[in-house]
Amino acid sequence: MQEQTTTAAPRELSRDELLDIYRQMWEIRFFEDKVYDLLGQNIIKGASHLYAGQEAVASGAIAALRDDDLITSTHRGHGHCLARGDCLAPDPVAKQEHLNKMMAELCGRSTGYCRGRGGSMHIADVEKGNLGATGIVGGNIPVATGAGLSMQMQGLDRIVLCFFGDGATNTGNFHESLNMASAWRLPVVYVVENNLYGMSVPFQKISAMPDIAARAAAYDIPGVVVDGMDPVAVFEAVSAAVERARRGEGPTLIECKTYRWYGHSRSDPRKYRTKEEEQGWRDRDPVRVFARRLLEMDIATQEELDAVEECAVHAIEAATAFALESPMPDPAEVEEDVYVVSPPTPAEVEAERRLRERVRTDPSIPKKRYWEAVRDAMREEMLRDPRVFVMGEDVGLYGGAYGATRGLFDEFGRERVMDTPISEALIGGAAVGAAMTGMRPVAEIMYVDFTPLAMDQIANQGAKNRYMFGGKTAVPMVIRTEGGAGRSIAAHHSQSLEALWTHFPGIYVVMPATPYDAKGLLKAAIRNDNPVMFIEHKMLYGVEGPVPEEDYVVPLGVADVKREGSDVTIVSYSRMVLRALEAAEELAKQGISAEVVDLRSLKPLDLETVVASVRKTGRIVGVTEAYKTGSYLSELFTLVNEAAFDWLDAPMVRVTALDVPVPMSETLEDAAIPSVERIVKAAAGLCR
């Protein structure tokens, strides 16, 4: 195991700081005991994972931070939240208010830190640097790594303290994050609280190495084992790691050997532990052992220690009373703060409509290829806003999978165009952490087929954080990816998975069909304060089209009628818009007037334009390159049915890819996805 080195010994804690740690530890203990009791009475609902027994880790580690440093927490995170908020509270009144908000949150009350939306496993105070707890084991590690990247990029000497349990060290998130943090020397201190069990599984049964800290050697960073029952030992180890990170020397992995008093959750019978083992650890109770130490050091008298304990009891009782007297959230607020809502104004929509008409009619507007439009959008936004940066696999010198970042590395350098490891979960999570802490990442995941590898980070962290944390944060990030068939590269690189992403509240989904739309929509996505999944099509990169030279955006959630018609509506997005337009030409030869509506944004959706077209034509054909079962068209048609059923003169018809993995052979691939002929047949059949 690599030992941590430092040029100076950690500073000594003052008497007041030691007593603060002692008080925090008692407050954590009594808080958790009270939560256990309230769970048993069914007053606190759901799951709570109690921190009792591990108090020394949170209190000792957080004492080593500055007020402007950041933390990320875990599903067993009450101790982290309590210690961090307590350290930042300027006076006893503020400290009590902090406890009140914590207990209210666990009780699901509107006065809680997250307005009752996060509860025990998702408590956060983002405004004060607590980036939140997560119910996903290891889910916070990439987020912390991204926050560290953000601090580095902004030239700040703030560090990120990332807590997680021993179970998280067997996830890919752990290894992906430590690898990149080490390579880029990010200011992150990773603190693993090894309480010996991942749920009910002993760590020794799932790891050949007894010390998690030994894994640090694989990433050439310090790995330190510390007694997690001793707050001073934890403080000293974390202090040294924090100072190392501030000097720009990169991350440290600290393993705190500790023990949880309760089971994994309240319902856990703990049959996998012996009474003797539990008693052995209780004999090392960190709160009581620390009290004896303070007495032996003449830091405090027994009377003073008793007074601290008594005050902690009263503080938790007061917090409990506050929580139980607080109102439940108003059901009318249930849909608030899923998104940062900033819809385009009517003037902005009208201005873009006029620009769009000029683009279609003015032959003097220069043409650009789709990939150039995407690149120019990123370039212009990077010039406009220094917070915008590009990261992903192979985005640097080689310009990404299809060249859309070509030239950006030469202009902006590795500081803002970053080639990451092949670690999709890390890319997604790092984007989340960077976005939550002041940056605006544009993260590329090479193929949409690979985005499920990052689904936890993008959907569970990025898309949900704003709502779970009570609307008190924003996650302004773009995930650029590409999908679709056409290059004979088979089922792992040719899918259309947009329906997966439209399912999650909190994330927008955009799929442009033309160079004009690609540039304007990407610029709008980068400026948006929500996560945006921006899906390009691999067969569109070489398509040319007029692109204005002036600065413009295409508002999200505004569809485009690409062709006027009166007999049938063909609604689509991405490459299938071009096939729909070809089909409309063929239908015109048969005397059928087809209106082609390009959704452009799937979320937010411009249903009004679709319904207006259906009311005019009475018929609708939907076209998508996605599989038929569960495709986005199924949701769209449900909405159309609800809004325009009385105007429909015929059944709604879907033209989709077949329900087969996309084949490699060209003839099979062509047969599997919608063709112009299939679109024509569907539309003509409706009109007859």
Count CB neighbours of 284 within 10 A.
15
Which of 146, 135, 144, 194 has the alpha carbon at shortest distance from 170?
Answer: 194
Q: Quick check: helix, strand or coil at residue 572? A: strand
Q: How far apart are the first and last CA of the chain?
A: 76
Say which amino acid occupies 239.
S
- The residues, any chain, with a CB within 8 Å of residue 518's CB and separated by 6 or more, are 370, 373, 374, 377, 512, 536, 540
CA distance 548 to 363: 11
Nearest one of 266, 232, 264, 238 to 252, comparing CA atoms: 238
Smallest CA-to-CA distance from 582 within 596, 603, 566, 601 is with 596
Q: How many helices (H) and strands (E) would you count in the chain? A: 24, 21
Helix ranges (H only) for 247-333 are: 275-282, 286-296, 302-325
Spatial strand order in the sheet of 417-419: 417-419, 388-392, 440-444, 478-483, 532-537, 508-510, 601-603
Amino acid at 333: E
> Do 146 and 429 meet the contact criterion of CB atoms below 8 Å apart?
yes
If residue 106 lies in a helix (H) or strand (E), which one and from where to where? helix 92-106
The answer to whether 461 and 455 are in contact (CB under 8 A) is no
122 in active site: no
Pull the structure tokens for residue 619: 């018929």
Angle at 201 (CA atoms; ends 200, 202), nearest 5 degrees: 115
Pairwise CA distance, residues 632 & 468, whole Å: 26
Which residue in the list 78, 80, 98, 493 is annotated as catalytic?
493
Residue 99: in which H helix or E strand, if any? helix 92-106
Pairwise CA distance, residues 249 & 190, whole Å: 14
Phi, psi of 553 (to 5 degrees): -130, 150
| Catalytic positions, written as ranges | 493
